[in-house]
């Protein structure tokens, strides 16, 4: 394997960066961005604009990248016949481990669990294999088929080390490593947006429904319908309120829904209650004039940021980001304009010294 490291101190942009590629940008530490450009992995020093390059000649490019929670290592998953997963030390860029045999042609996503002891990888066509690695010993812990269609992403839960989620074409799948989840009932529900399109003569009505599932019991708890088309959904983190969910709509409205179990209100048997769960509206607010594209809680759960496609208040296609203080009621703090439509918001994790918001446009 030939790896070449180059340094160029004057570049302020990169040729070959694929902006349409999934998960093609990550923050390695508070001053280094990493992204894929062809057969190169580019490490960009944000303040000095210095770029370092890792060039790969063993495969047909790079399929996926991820960073270890400690930021002491990062992972490059290749493309090509029997591609490799390469673990590098940081900042030395020394090759540390090589993982083999996880997929046939390409890796589409990789992710570490919360403490960094396990690495998950998922392959693309033709096998779509999900593999859990004891990466320090270069050993396979578990392997199974993730799906029969394209898998775009695999992620460990930041709150539950036993829960792994894969998503892709037509599916979201929850992979449970142990029955250990039964001791954590507060984490056993999933919220999902479903859009239904119903046509009548001379009229078109778009209805969005929110379905809540208990995936351990393998059943639907409840559903609620809205006349506006839903655009984004976010589960409030447990330290805010584990049974609350935020829904963003195309008309700029954000609704805070609370999930509760009606049977807990009855002193008699469960048969006295018709449903296993209900959703009730706690609060609705309208921070934007157009579609809400993204919702993000900061790491302490004290601030909510919402993003919008563009603002009618401006002649240009400006995006807006609105901030709320989080409490029993969500109270507005203010908003900012950004140069273009907002696609995603990402707060810095607890491992970073400063609490900042990354806005992707």
| Beta bridge mates, 207 | 196
Mean local confidence (pLDDT), 238-258:
82
Task: List the single range of 204-208, 302-306, 334-338 with lowest mean pLDDT.
Answer: 204-208
Cβ neighbour number for residue 159 with a 10 Å cutoff:
15
Tokens of 196: 């239904």
Residue 261, C-beta contacts closer than 8 angstroms, at least 6 positions apart: 276, 277, 278
**14 within some domain:** yes
| CA-based end-to-end distance of the chain | 37
Q: How far is CA 248 from CA 42, 228, 289, in A?
A: 35, 10, 12
68 falls in which pLDDT band (50, 70, 90)?
very high
Q: Is residue 293 a contact partner of residue 342, using CB atoms and an 8 Å limit?
A: yes
Is omega for the bond preceding 126 within 30 degrees of 0, making it cis? Answer: yes
For the chain, how many structural domains are there in total? 1
Q: How far is CA 63 from CA 10, 47, 113, 337, in A?
A: 28, 27, 19, 34
Is pLDDT above 90 for 243?
Answer: no
Give the CATH number, domain containing residue 97: 2.130.10.10
Tokens of 239: 């330290």
**222 within some domain:** no
Looking at the chain, how many residues does it have? 361
**201 within some domain:** no
More confident of the two residues 238 and 355: 355
Is omega for the bond preceding 91 within 30 degrees of 0, making it cis? Answer: yes
**10 within some domain:** yes
Domain assignment of residue 11, given as a range: 1-181
Q: Helix, strand or coil for residue 344?
A: strand
Most confident of 5-9, 237-241, 254-258, 266-270: 254-258
* Residue owning tokens 């995006």: 319
| 11-54 tens-digit pLDDT | 445 556 666 667 778 888 888 888 888 778 889 888 888 888 88
**129 within some domain:** yes
Q: What is the pLDDT of residue 30?
A: 82
- Helix (H) / strand (E) element for 4: namely strand 3-8
**348 within some domain:** no
**126 within some domain:** yes
230 by Cβ neighbours in 10 Å (0-12 / 13-18 / 19+) ranks as buried
**238 within some domain:** no
| Beta bridge mates, 245 | 235, 257
């Amino acid at each position: 394997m030939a790896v070449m490291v180059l340094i160029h101190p004057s570049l302020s942009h990169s040729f070959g960066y694929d902006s349409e590629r999934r998960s093609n940008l990550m923050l390695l530490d508070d001053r280094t961005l990493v992204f894929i450009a062809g057969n190169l992995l580019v490490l960009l020093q944000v303040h000095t604009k210095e770029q370092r390059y890792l060039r790969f000649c063993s495969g047909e490019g790079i399929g996926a990248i991820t960073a270890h929670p400690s930021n002491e290592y990062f992972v490059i998953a290749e493309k090509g016949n029997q591609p490799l997963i390469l673990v590098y030390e940081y900042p030395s860029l020394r090759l540390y481990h090589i993982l083999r045999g996880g997929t046939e042609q390409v890796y589409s996503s990789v992710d570490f669990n919360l403490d960094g002891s396990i690495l998950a990888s998922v392959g693309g066509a033709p096998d779509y294999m999900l593999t859990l690695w004891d990466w320090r010993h270069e050993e396979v812990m578990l392997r199974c088929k993730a799906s029969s269609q394209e898998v775009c992403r695999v992620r460990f839960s930041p709150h539950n080390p036993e829960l792994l989620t894969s998503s892709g074409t037509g599916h979201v799948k929850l992979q449970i490593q142990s029955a250990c989840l039964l001791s954590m009932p507060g984490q056993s529900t999933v919220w999902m947006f479903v859009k239904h399109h119903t046509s009548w003569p001379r009229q078109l009505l778009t209805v969005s429904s929110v379905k809540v599932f208990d995936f351990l019991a393998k059943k639907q708890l409840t559903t609620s319908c809205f006349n506006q088309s839903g655009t984004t959904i976010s589960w409030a983190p447990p330290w805010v309120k584990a049974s609350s969910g935020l829904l963003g709509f195309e008309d700029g409205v954000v609704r805070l829904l609370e999930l509760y179990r009606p049977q807990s209100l009855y002193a008699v048997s469960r048969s006295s209650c018709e449903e296993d769960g209900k959703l009730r509206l706690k609060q609705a607010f309208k921070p934007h004039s157009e579609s809400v594209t993204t919702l993000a809680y900061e790491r302490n759960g004290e601030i909510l940021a919402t993003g919008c496609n563009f603002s009618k208040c401006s002649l240009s296609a400006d995006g807006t980001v609105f901030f709320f203080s989080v409490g029993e009621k969500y109270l507005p703090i203010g908003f900012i304009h950004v140069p273009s439509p907002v696609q995603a918001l990402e707060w810095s994790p607890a491992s970073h010294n400063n609490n900042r918001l990354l806005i992707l446009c």
